Structure 1
Amino acid sequence: MTTSYWLADSDSTDRLGRSLAQTRPPRAVVHLQGDLGAGKSTLARALLRELGVQGAIRSPTYTLVERYPLATGGEAWHLDLYRIGDPGELEYLGLDTDDVTLWLVEWPERGLGSLPAPDLCIEMALEGDGRIAALKPQTGTGQRWLEHLAEAAPLAHDS
């Protein structure tokens, strides 16, 4: 089941990111999809900030991956695969690690077959003056995450 949220502005996007962080499972893979400017990096930045990441949270557009230690242990990896031409290129990024507790992957379709399967897919789309975020669980972990999100953070949404 897909849960959609209307995000009227960047503050709404930040609130959704914070709520996702507050309800996240111990380990998760999130695929962030949508056109350029749809709000994927904004959502990821808010989620990471809520998880206690200090300092600059850079978009990994040019570095491809940014690693952030989490206060609760482990690491969050934020990937932006927009510039990847072939999924095989990911082999050189050293993505094989057990320390990653949260994967945030923008443009995941460019790394198919070389990425861990998603627990949650978030499709971001511009609509009028705002955005729509459609959250689609892909595993039991993703489904429970959305259930916790709905219980803990009642945001304006439709299903």
Structure 2
Amino acid sequence: MKSITTIGAEETQALGQQLAAHLQAGDVILLDGDLGAGKTTFTKGLATGLGIKRPVKSPTFTIIREYQEGKLPLYHMDVYRLENGGGDELGLDEYFNGNGVSVVEWSPFVTDELPEARLVIHLTRDEADDDLRHFVFEAHGNRYEQLLNQLEADRHE
């Protein structure tokens, strides 16, 4: 596990950009955190790092937004509305095994659909300072352990 704290939306997006530099097709990133924790802000940074120019919006009502124009497609999912089930009907495995990067917000609602290998990022807002965001990265599988090592190396350059 690795912990990183960011100050403000700009730093949160920069962290997403740093991670995006190491992403590859088939990567699955789970963003878990309360409303306002910074999940979509972080995803905006990922998108920028992938070369996506379109504005990234939370897919709360559409469930999945696809951004195809970057160096890799980005599949941004918000599965909050599936808290009563229904993830199995979306064909999520096609995204997870596809040619892009899948980012899933509120992943506990589709636990049965998730691949074993994945990067889980727990985001929390600091109670004392609303500009601070705390990220805890949890790698599941060798691919994601390597990804975290690359991110760590980038941050110490």
Residue of structure 2 aligned with 1:80, choices 78, 81, 96: 78
Match of 1:46 in 2: 45
TM-score by length of 1: 0.87
Q: Which runs of 5+ in 2 are unaligned?
A: none
> How far apart, in 1, do the equivalents of 2:47 and 2:117 lie?
18
> How far apart, in 2, do the equivalents of 1:113 and 1:86 lie?
13
Cα offset, 1:59, TM superposition: 0.8
Secondary structure of residue in 2 paired with 1:113 = helix
Residue of structure 2 aligned with 1:154, choices 150, 153, 156: 156
The alignment of Structure 1 onto Structure 2 pairs a total of residues equal to: 152
Deviations 1:53-91 (A, max 9, x none): 122212111101111115334x2211111111333x123
Q: Percent identity?
A: 28
Q: Which moved more, 1:63-72 or 1:16-25?
A: 63-72
Q: Amino acid of the residue matched to residue 143 of structure 2? A: T
Secondary structure of residue in 2 paired with 1:5 = strand
Cα offset, 1:118, TM superposition: 4.5
Large movers: runs of 4+ above 3 Å: none
> How far apart, in 2, do the equivalents of 1:116 and 1:68 lie?
21
Secondary structure of residue in 2 paired with 1:121 = strand
Cα RMSD, aligned residues only: 1.8
Q: Amino acid of the residue matched to residue 150 of structure 2? A: H
Q: Report which of the two has the higher share of helix.
A: 2
Superposed, 1:1-159 pairs within 5 Å as 2-73=1-72, 75-87=73-85, 89-97=86-94, 98-127=97-126, 128-129=128-129, 130-154=132-156
TM-score by length of 2: 0.88
Preserved CA contact (<8 Å) 2:59 2:65: yes
Summarize the Cα distance change of 1:25–1:99 in structure 2 as closer, same or farther, 3 Å threshold.
Answer: closer
Preserved CA contact (<8 Å) 1:82 1:106: yes
Q: Which runs of 5+ in 1 are unaligned?
A: none
Q: Amino acid of the residue matched to residue 116 of structure 2? A: A
